[in-house]
């Protein structure tokens, strides 16, 4: 037996509560942008995906309860740039704290005492402590009615901590770090870390007939 939840009739609040408990685990983009006064804004977004061809990240950015745009959205569209970080377990509390609203013009980076360094291709600085930082340029946006706007950013350059990089295979290796995932929000917000990693070779299940 299944419980049915009708998204076509659901209020946005209920749809959020249910969807965020179903589509799990979600990676979290920890996004730095520059505000109009050049203050560094930092906020997490788990409606997030990365694609390789072309190399881009997509964020779904909602609105504040009063309908006004979030700083991250406004900064990306106005300044055209962002740095998208991946946080690991030691940064969990700081990442979570940046999900709280603070007045525009105030910097989450300064407030939390996080350290930043200059980026190479964009004006937005990157967090030193994040194991992954992707320098990005605004590509396009797709408004989804009154709710979220899909924001796409081209990835120009990634900084990857040596500690998680395997030079032999030339990519990051998941068992060398502790990426954070977002789970549902009931009695939470809840986060997860990686459990057991299963490596499968060529499938042994029956394949297509040739
Ligand atoms: C782990 C986490 C994931 C989040 N994911 C999203 C998201 O995908 N979309 C969104 O609009 N807000 C998301 N939020 C809420 C924003 O981070 C929050 O509204 C933040 O204050 C926005 O900051 P800004 O106004 O500086 O951009 C998330 C919050 C947390 C803690």
Segment 50-108, tens digit of pLDDT: 999 999 999 999 999 899 999 999 999 999 999 999 999 999 999 999 999 888 788 88
Q: What is the structure's pLDDT at 31?
A: 98
Hey, whose CA ends up nearest to atom 18 of ligand 1?
Answer: 99
pTM score of the predicted model: 0.96
Q: Look at the block and give the residue holding tokens 């930043």.
A: 116
Query: With contact defined as beta carbons under 8 Å apart, do 34 and 79 qualify?
Result: yes
- The C-alpha atoms of residue 41 and residue 134 are separated, in whole angstroms, by 15
Confirm if 95 and 28 have CB atoms less than 8 A apart.
yes
Share of the chain above pLDDT 90, in %: 84
Mean pLDDT over residues 7-35, rounded?
Answer: 96
Test site for ligand 1: of 70, 72, 75, most ligand atoms within 8 A of the Cβ? 70
What is the H or E stretch that residue 133 is in? strand 132-143
Q: Residue ranges of the alpha helices (H) in the chain?
A: 12-22, 71-79, 92-97, 108-112
- d(CA 167, ligand 1 centre) in Å: 34
C-alpha 61 to ligand 1 mean position (Å): 7
Taking CB atoms and a 6 Å cutoff, what residues make up the pocket around ligand 1? 28, 41, 43-47, 60-62, 70-72, 96, 99-101, 182, 189
Can you say how many angstroms the Cα of residue 44 is from the centroid of all Cα atoms in its chain? Answer: 6
Any bridge partners for residue 141, and if so which?
Answer: 151
- For the chain, the domains span 12-192
Q: Are 191 and 185 in contact (CB under 8 A)?
A: no
d(CA 56, CA 156): 9
CA of 99 to the centre of ligand 1 (A): 5
Q: If you take atom 31 of ligand 1, which residue's CA is the nearest one? A: 99
Cα(41) to centroid(ligand 1), Å: 12
The DSSP result for 51-79, as a single string, is ETTTTEEEEEE-B-TTSPBPHHHHHHHHH
Task: With cut-offs at 50, 70 and 90, classify the pLDDT of residue 24.
Answer: very high
Residue nearest to atom 20 of ligand 1 (CA): 99
SS3 168: coil
Per cent of the chain over pLDDT 70 is 100
The ligand 1 atom at the shortest distance from the C-alpha of residue 62 is 11
Q: How far, in Å, CA of 166 to CA of 193, rounded? A: 21
Q: What pLDDT does 88 receive? A: 97
CA dihedral sign of residues 111, 113, 116, 154: negative
* Chosen CATH of 12-192 out of 1.10.1200.10, 2.30.110.10, 3.40.50.1820, 3.40.50.1980: 2.30.110.10
Q: How far is the CA of 98 from the centre of ligand 1 (A)?
A: 8
């Amino acid at each position: 037996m299944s419980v049915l939840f009708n998204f076509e009739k659901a209020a946005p609040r209920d749809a959020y509560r249910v969807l965020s408990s179903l589509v799990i685990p979600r990676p979290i983009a920890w996004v730095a942008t520059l505000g109009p006064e050049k203050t560094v804004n930092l906020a997490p977004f788990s409606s997030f995906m990365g694609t390789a061809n072309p190399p881009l990240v997509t964020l779904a950015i909602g609105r504040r309860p009063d309908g006004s745009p979030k700083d991250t959205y406004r900064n990306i569209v106005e300044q055209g740039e962002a740095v998208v970080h991946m946080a690991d377990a030691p940064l969990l509390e700081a990442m979570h704290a940046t999900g709280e609203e603070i007045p525009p013009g105030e910097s989450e980076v300064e407030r939390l005492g996080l350290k930043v360094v200059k980026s190479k291709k964009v004006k937005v600085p990157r967090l030193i402590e994040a194991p992954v930082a992707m320098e990005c340029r605004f590509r396009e946006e797709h408004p989804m009615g009154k709710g979220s706007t899909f924001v796409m950013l081209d990835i120009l350059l990634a900084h990857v901590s040596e500690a998680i990089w395997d030079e032999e295979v030339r990519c990051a290796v998941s068992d060398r770090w502790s990426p954070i995932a977002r789970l549902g929000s009931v009695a939470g917000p809840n986060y997860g870390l990686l459990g057991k990693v299963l490596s499968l070779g060529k499938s042994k299940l029956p394949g297509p007939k040739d």
